[in-house]
Amino acid sequence: MPLIVLARLALSLVSLAILGAAGYLLWSWHEGYWVLDAYGVGHQLHEPWRLWTAVGLIAWSLLGRFVMTPLLAKPDKDPTRPERGDHQMISSPTGSTLYVEVHGPREAPPVILTHGWGLDSTIWYYLRRHLATRFRVIVWDLPGLGRSRAANGQAIDLSHFAQDLKAVLALTGGKPTVLVGHSIGGMTIQTLVRDHPDVLESVAGLVLVNTTYTNPLRTMVLSGLAQALRWPLLEPLFRLTIWLQPLAWLSAWQSYLSGSAHLANRIGFASQVTRSQLEHNTLLATRNPPGVSARGNLAMFRWDADAALQAITVPTLILAGDSDLVTKCEASQTLARATPGSRLEVISDANHMGFLERSEIYNEEIARFCDLNLITRPGLGVREPTMTQA
């Protein structure tokens, strides 16, 4: 999402400045300066403080994350891990090749999880583990991220993602399925329902997690400033990132090593984030290609699905964080008002990555919804929207 991308860019420049300062101090120490003694003989002197300061700055540039992470996050009781399982690669009508994992009992009702932008399917570690005891959990990587391969640059947009999700949905064989999407994953679900309403015949429910209904610049914190900066700054910046991807990637990894990337990604969490959660999120945002991330951000600027869910006939659970800076809670409230059969749950002390830092609450809400609509009373008709706070 643009807010965190901008934070990462600003802090990566600071990180590069620190590395540059280290290089200058190392060079100036090596060059030293000359003085003449009483006999007129010149001597080259070196200032030790320049050397040791340079060494310290270089060490911070390469090892700073080991200091920053404990300062920014709490110790773990249940660490998350970017681990993979057995998988298959499927072809999408868009030309992309999608990485898919399936977990849980073979004959259990299916649930499909679609992750947020800049991440991959390993980010569902907690929810996948929680649901896989009684559901057939399908996770996949969006094209260009993780291990999925995008057909080309044009395949990185919401309409293509919706077609990709439809291809993943076909793996269920038409069984009633709950679709869960975080951030751009929720945007993908809305696009799917709008562009391919026929899929609702095999969808038992929708879960939209910390997402929005329109260009995210309109529903983030400081949205007025973000929209004003779109054309003079954001659009050129993301296009430059696409053209200069190798340099952007090198800068991203240097920022990761120094810990400045962790500081930027901390913006997506509230007060409960743990060290493994922050590390997991930052690692994924770093190792995914910057050019792909930039294309996705540009695609989101041009996306709008306002009122896309007005005509749906399946229950919808909308989960929002009361501290979300990336897609503010008001976006979820607007979605709830526009969506028949929806229920809004506002999670306290949860930011954009609330499904990680408040995983116990999110997991229970989603599991309860899946139980209700896949096991207890599948095929339930439309209900009036309700709003509560957890």
The 10s digit of each residue's pLDDT in 283-315 is: 999 999 999 999 999 999 999 998 788 878 899
Which of the two residues, 4 and 235, has the higher pLDDT score? 235
Residue 387 has pLDDT above 60, yes or no: no
φ, ψ of residue 346 in degrees (nearest 5): -100, 120
Least confident of 43-47, 75-79, 257-261, 384-388: 384-388
The 10s digit of each residue's pLDDT in 229-279 is: 999 999 999 999 999 999 999 999 999 999 999 999 999 999 999 999 999
- 3 state DSSP class of 342: strand
CATH number, domain containing residue 349: 3.40.50.1820
Look up the pTM and report it.
0.94
Whether 357 contacts 350, CB under 8 Å: yes
* C-alpha 204: how far from chain center: 26
Cα–Cα distance measured from residue 106 to residue 114, given in angstroms and rounded to the nearest whole number? 20
Please provide the average confidence, as pLDDT, over all residues in the chain.
94
Q: How many domains does the chain have?
A: 1
The 10s digit of each residue's pLDDT in 77-120 is: 999 999 999 999 999 999 999 999 999 999 999 999 999 999 99
The 10s digit of each residue's pLDDT in 339-355 is: 998 999 999 999 999 99
Helix axes 290-301, 235-243, angle to 10 degrees: 150
Confidence category of residue 199, pLDDT binned at 50, 70, 90: very high
At 80, which amino acid appears? Answer: T
Residue 184 has pLDDT above 70, yes or no: yes
Q: How far apart, in Å, are the Cα atoms of 161 and each of 144, 157, 239, 370?
A: 11, 6, 20, 23
Cα–Cα distance measured from residue 327 to residue 299, given in angstroms and rounded to the nearest whole number? 16
Share of the chain above pLDDT 90, in %: 87
Q: What is the mean pLDDT of residues 58-64?
A: 97
- Which pLDDT score is estimated for 384? 44
Alpha helices in the chain (DSSP H): 2-31, 48-63, 65-72, 125-131, 158-169, 184-195, 223-229, 235-243, 245-258, 260-265, 275-287, 290-301, 329-338, 354-357, 359-370
Side by side, the strands of the sheet bearing 342-347 are 87-91, 97-103, 136-140, 110-114, 177-182, 203-209, 316-321, 342-347, 386-389
Confidence category of residue 6, pLDDT binned at 50, 70, 90: confident
- Which pLDDT score is estimated for 382? 40
Residue 381 has pLDDT above 50, yes or no: no
Q: What is the mean pLDDT of residues 168-182?
A: 98
Task: Domain of residue 320: give its range.
Answer: 1-390
